[in-house]
């Protein structure tokens, strides 16, 4: 007989940005290490239907799934730490819930009843939990991370829904609360009061945490944990610490198993506990902590001051670095500044990630020119590929006004442009080529050498495409098209001939890189930088 599905709800208190996403991902990983099949869900209380239209300065990266959902960046953590299915049902926002309810109300589906937060909104949230648990066969444990902080007005329906859910499945749910325990320098001690208050806030709405994780700068000590246990009514062995990990976030699951979190989870959920095996993971963490060499990588974008805007790109670089026993020092270069002053600080290679809009565009073109001329490794992702193509058209094909129609709709040489069938699109939300597309690789290309196969699948998020009118001229002059989506003859990969490694991809490989399975293109890029650094 299959055991009943188990549900873990993860809430946060005191302040945001405590690392709830990473904690959830690590818990998922520890459960998989116990032989469980997990599904990870993220509920975001904001009113946007999805984060697709949100400014990266406010929201960080938009993570795209195979089925084309534009989701919260925490799903990237889930991908990197677990094998959870990730799809449209994995990320639910208040906007999405209300959108469904209001459309239903307009159709008259509620048969004249008053539509209310309880039960209609909470029912819809509970239905989303169930949908997440049924997206694949054999899911044992569903982890539901609730975005925001307890006490926020907008998260209340989600809190209420998880309270009801536990009432309906009393034996199969647990609540984990992540709190913050600050160190007050003036008093010379850590303070537990904010944690006490956030647990009180939770309990006042009927949610009683089973485990409390305390984020703090340094270890808490038994006395502090006992105090939290007493005031928050949680056994002291269920008060754990989550200290700042200075070297790598990939140490988090190890830090948690050291405190027996896996055993505690199994006992709270009534699951039999196995020994588990984290040996391979530990080896990788050691590689990250003890690199043999360092590379300096220039990341050229307009959101570099926001640490989460290029999250998956940075993680993919660290993964590739780990396998090559190399520390990849990421050096953010603000593309807008580059337009005024091309000071480059001598990086071993440059990566131009995805992006939208004109600001910083010419600065990125300048970087591509420098990399092409000086034969410095260059990796262009999505917009970064378009940059590479436009630079080539202007400076090699001598079409000096060539551009993407995103930047100049009237360019005489629209080498990057919208597909005709897309030209009527007016709304900004949900109008892009999104999600996984197959790509065929040309044998003996750099991409083929990296992947080691000719058929791959990668995820997209863009509107503009390479314009095939220019294909022949590009190839004749040294810009090779080495990957295509054959069904619609769309260019997916370009490579510079006679260059150590200058590759642009229209898709986002960073979404599919893990520490245990670094993405082949990122590995090839890091290897190329190492080779060039050692003198080619
Ligand atoms: N702005 C470009 C486009 O829409 C690139 C998008 C991206 O880099 N994700 O095609």
Residue minimizing CA distance to atom 3 of ligand 1 = 462
Determine the longest span between alpha carbons in the chain, in angstroms: 75
Q: Is 43 within the bounds of a domain?
A: yes
Domain residue limits at 457? 291-535
| Structure tokens given for 272 | 């039999």
> Do residues 221 and 244 make contact, with C-beta atoms less than 8 angstroms apart?
no
| 416/386 Cα distance (integer angstroms) | 7
Probe ligand 1: pick from 70, 382, 437, max atoms within 8 Å of CB? 382
> Do residues 175 and 209 make contact, with C-beta atoms less than 8 angstroms apart?
yes
Specify whether 195 is located in the same domain as 314.
no
Q: Is 502 within the bounds of a domain?
A: yes
> Do residues 150 and 12 make contact, with C-beta atoms less than 8 angstroms apart?
yes
| 272/105 Cα distance (integer angstroms) | 45
Query: Is 21 annotated among the ligand-binding residues?
Result: yes
Residue minimizing CA distance to atom 6 of ligand 1 = 462
Q: What is the residue-wise DSSP string for 295-350?
A: EEEEEEES-TTSTTTTHHHHHHHHHHHHHTTEEEEEEEEEHHHHHH-------SEE
Among 258, 283, 308, the domain boundary falls at: 283
The total domain count for the chain is 2
Residue tagged 């990473």 (tokens): 22
Query: Is 406 annotated among the ligand-binding residues?
Result: yes
| 26/32 Cα distance (integer angstroms) | 10
Specify whether 22 is located in the same domain as 39.
yes
Q: Is 1 within the bounds of a domain?
A: no
| 252/235 Cα distance (integer angstroms) | 22
Q: Is 214 within the bounds of a domain?
A: yes
Residue tagged 């196969």 (tokens): 453
- For the purposes of burial, counting CB atoms within 10 Å of the CB of 338, is it exposed (0-12), middle (13-18) or buried (19 or more)? buried
Of ligand 1's atoms, which has the minimum distance to the CA of residue 464? 10
Of ligand 1's atoms, which has the minimum distance to the CA of residue 356? 1
Specify whether 116 is located in the same domain as 63.
yes
Instruction: List 504's β-bridge partners, or say none.
Output: 380, 494
Among 259, 283, 307, the domain boundary falls at: 283
Q: Parallel, antiparallel, or unpaired for β 378-381 and 433-441?
A: unpaired
> Do residues 354 and 363 make contact, with C-beta atoms less than 8 angstroms apart?
no
Q: Parallel, antiparallel, or unpaired for β 490-496 and 455-462?
A: unpaired
CA of 498 to the centre of ligand 1 (A): 27
382 in active site: yes
CA of 386 to the centre of ligand 1 (A): 8
Give the 3-state secondary structure of residue 300. strand
Residue minimizing CA distance to atom 9 of ligand 1 = 354
Name the region of 175 (left: φ>0; alpha: ψ -120 to 50; beta: rest).
Answer: beta
Of ligand 1's atoms, which has the minimum distance to the CA of residue 381? 8
Of ligand 1's atoms, which has the minimum distance to the CA of residue 355? 8
Query: Is 67 annotated among the ligand-binding residues?
Result: no
Specify whether 73 is located in the same domain as 134.
yes
Instruction: List 418's β-bridge partners, or say none.
Output: 464
- How long is the chain? 536
| 429/410 Cα distance (integer angstroms) | 24
DSSP-derived letter for residue 409 is T
Q: Is 16 within the bounds of a domain?
A: yes
Instruction: List 190's β-bridge partners, or say none.
Output: 183
CA of 227 to the centre of ligand 1 (A): 51
Query: Is 193 annotated among the ligand-binding residues?
Result: yes
Specify whether 245 is located in the same domain as 378.
no
Query: Is 245 annotated among the ligand-binding residues?
Result: yes
The residues, ordered by sequence, that sit 6+ positions from 91 with a Cβ below 8 Å of its Cβ are 41, 42, 43, 44, 50, 69, 71, 72, 75
Give the 3-state secondary structure of residue 221. coil
Would you tell me the crossing angle of helices 311-323 and 74-81 to the nearest 10 degrees? 20
Of ligand 1's atoms, which has the minimum distance to the CA of residue 508? 9
Specify whether 268 is located in the same domain as 305.
no
Active-site annotation holder among 439, 465, 510, 519: 510
CA of 464 to the centre of ligand 1 (A): 6
| Structure tokens given for 138 | 């054999």
Low-confidence ranges of the chain (pLDDT < 50): 421-422, 424-426
Q: What is the CATH number of the domain that holds 278?
A: 3.40.50.300
Probe ligand 1: pick from 464, 491, 510, max atoms within 8 Å of CB? 464
| 345/337 Cα distance (integer angstroms) | 13
CA of 336 to the centre of ligand 1 (A): 17
| 320/516 Cα distance (integer angstroms) | 10
Q: What is the CATH number of the domain that holds 525?
A: 3.40.50.880
Specify whether 341 is located in the same domain as 432.
yes
Specify whether 136 is located in the same domain as 238.
yes
Q: Is 76 within the bounds of a domain?
A: yes
Question: Rounded to 5 degrees, what are φ and ψ at 353?
Answer: -85, -175
CA torsion sign, 451 to 452 to 454 to 457?
negative
Query: Is 22 annotated among the ligand-binding residues?
Result: yes
Among 248, 283, 318, the domain boundary falls at: 283
Probe ligand 1: pick from 300, 406, 415, max atoms within 8 Å of CB? 406
| 501/494 Cα distance (integer angstroms) | 11
pLDDT of residue 54: 84
pLDDT of residue 274: 81
Residue tagged 């593309």 (tokens): 335
Specify whether 473 is located in the same domain as 324.
yes
Probe ligand 1: pick from 52, 416, 462, max atoms within 8 Å of CB? 462
CA of 217 to the centre of ligand 1 (A): 39
| Structure tokens given for 318 | 């660290």
| 226/247 Cα distance (integer angstroms) | 29
Of ligand 1's atoms, which has the minimum distance to the CA of residue 382? 8
Query: Is 380 annotated among the ligand-binding residues?
Result: no
CA of 506 to the centre of ligand 1 (A): 8
Specify whether 403 is located in the same domain as 431.
yes
Query: Is 194 annotated among the ligand-binding residues?
Result: yes
Residue minimizing CA distance to atom 5 of ligand 1 = 383
What is the CB neighbour count within 10 angstroms for residue 278?
A: 16
Q: Identify the residues whose C-beta falls under 6 Å from ligand 1.
A: 354-356, 382-383, 406, 461-464
Active-site annotation holder among 238, 382, 439, 474: 382
pLDDT of residue 452: 96
Q: Is 34 within the bounds of a domain?
A: yes
> Do residues 13 and 161 make contact, with C-beta atoms less than 8 angstroms apart?
no
Q: Parallel, antiparallel, or unpaired for β 490-496 and 479-485?
A: antiparallel
CA of 393 to the centre of ligand 1 (A): 18
What is the CB neighbour count within 10 angstroms for residue 287?
A: 19
The residues, ordered by sequence, that sit 6+ positions from 151 with a Cβ below 8 Å of its Cβ are 13, 198, 201
Probe ligand 1: pick from 303, 313, 381, 386, max atoms within 8 Å of CB? 386
Residue minimizing CA distance to atom 1 of ligand 1 = 356
Specify whether 222 is located in the same domain as 346.
no
CA of 462 to the centre of ligand 1 (A): 4
Alpha-carbon Rg for the chain, nearest whole angstrom, is 25
Q: Is 397 within the bounds of a domain?
A: yes
| 34/62 Cα distance (integer angstroms) | 30
Specify whether 180 is located in the same domain as 40.
yes
Of ligand 1's atoms, which has the minimum distance to the CA of residue 432? 4
Query: Is 227 annotated among the ligand-binding residues?
Result: yes
């Amino acid at each position: 007989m299959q055991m009943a599905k188990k549900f873990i709800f993860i809430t946060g208190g005191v302040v945001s940005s405590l690392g709830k996403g990473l904690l959830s991902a690590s818990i998922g990983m520890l459960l998989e290490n116990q032989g469980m099949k997990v599904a990870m869900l993220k509920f975001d209380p904001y009113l946007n239907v999805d984060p697709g239209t949100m400014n990266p300065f406010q929201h960080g990266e938009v993570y795209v799934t195979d089925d084309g959902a534009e989701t919260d960046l925490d799903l990237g953590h889930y991908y990197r730490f677990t094998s959870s299915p990730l799809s449209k049902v994995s990320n639910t926002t208040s906007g999405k819930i209300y959108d469904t309810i209001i459309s239903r109300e307009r159709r008259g589906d509620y048969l004249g009843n008053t539509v209310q937060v309880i039960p209609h909104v909470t029912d819809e949230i509970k239905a989303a939990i169930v949908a997440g648990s049924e997206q694949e066969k054999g899911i044992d444990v569903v982890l539901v991370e609730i975005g925001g902080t307890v006490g926020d007005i907008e998260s209340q329906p989600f809190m209420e829904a998880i309270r009801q859910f536990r009432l309906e499945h009393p034996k199969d749910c647990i609540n984990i609360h992540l709190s913050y325990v600050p160190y007050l320098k003036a008093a010379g001690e850590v303070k537990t009061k904010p944690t006490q208050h956030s647990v009180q806030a939770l309990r006042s709405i009927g949610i009683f945490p089973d485990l409390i994780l305390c984020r703090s700068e340094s270890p808490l000590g038994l006395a502090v944990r006992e105090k939290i246990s007493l005031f928050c009514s949680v056994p002291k062995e269920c008060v754990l610490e989550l200290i700042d990990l200075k070297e790598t976030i990939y140490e988090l699951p190890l830090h948690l198993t050291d405190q027996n979190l896996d055993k505690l989870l199994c006992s709270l959920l009534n699951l039999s506990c196995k020994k588990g095996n984290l040996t391979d993971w530990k080896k990788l963490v050691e590689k990250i902590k003890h690199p043999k060499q360092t590379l300096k990588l220039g990341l050229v974008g307009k959101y570099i001051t926001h640490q989460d805007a290029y999250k998956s790109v940075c993680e993919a670089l660290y993964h590739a670095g780990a396998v090559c026993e190399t520390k990849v020092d990421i050096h953010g270069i603000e593309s807008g500044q580059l337009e005024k002053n091309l000071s480059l600080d001598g990086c071993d290679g440059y990566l131009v990630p995805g992006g939208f809009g004109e600001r910083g565009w010419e600065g990125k073109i300048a970087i591509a020119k420098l990399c092409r001329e000086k034969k410095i490794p260059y990796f262009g992702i999505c917009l970064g590929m378009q940059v590479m193509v436009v630079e080539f058209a202007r400076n090699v094909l001598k079409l000096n006004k060539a551009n993407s129609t995103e930047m100049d709709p009237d360019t005489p040489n629209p080498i990057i442009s919208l597909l005709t069938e897309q030209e009527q699109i007016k709304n900004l939300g949900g109008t892009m080529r999104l999600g996984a597309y197959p790509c065929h690789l040309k044998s003996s290309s750099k991409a083929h050498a990296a992947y080691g196969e000719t058929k791959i699948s990668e995820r997209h998020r863009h509107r503009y495409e390479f314009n095939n009118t220019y294909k022949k001229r590009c190839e004749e002059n040294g810009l090779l098209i080495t990957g295509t989506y054959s069904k619609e003859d769309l260019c997916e990969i370009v490579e510079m001939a006679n260059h150590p490694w200058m590759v642009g991809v229209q898709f986002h490989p960073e979404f599919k890189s893990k520490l245990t399975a670094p993405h082949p293109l990122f590995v090839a890029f890091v290897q190329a930088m190492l080779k060039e650094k050692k003198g080619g």
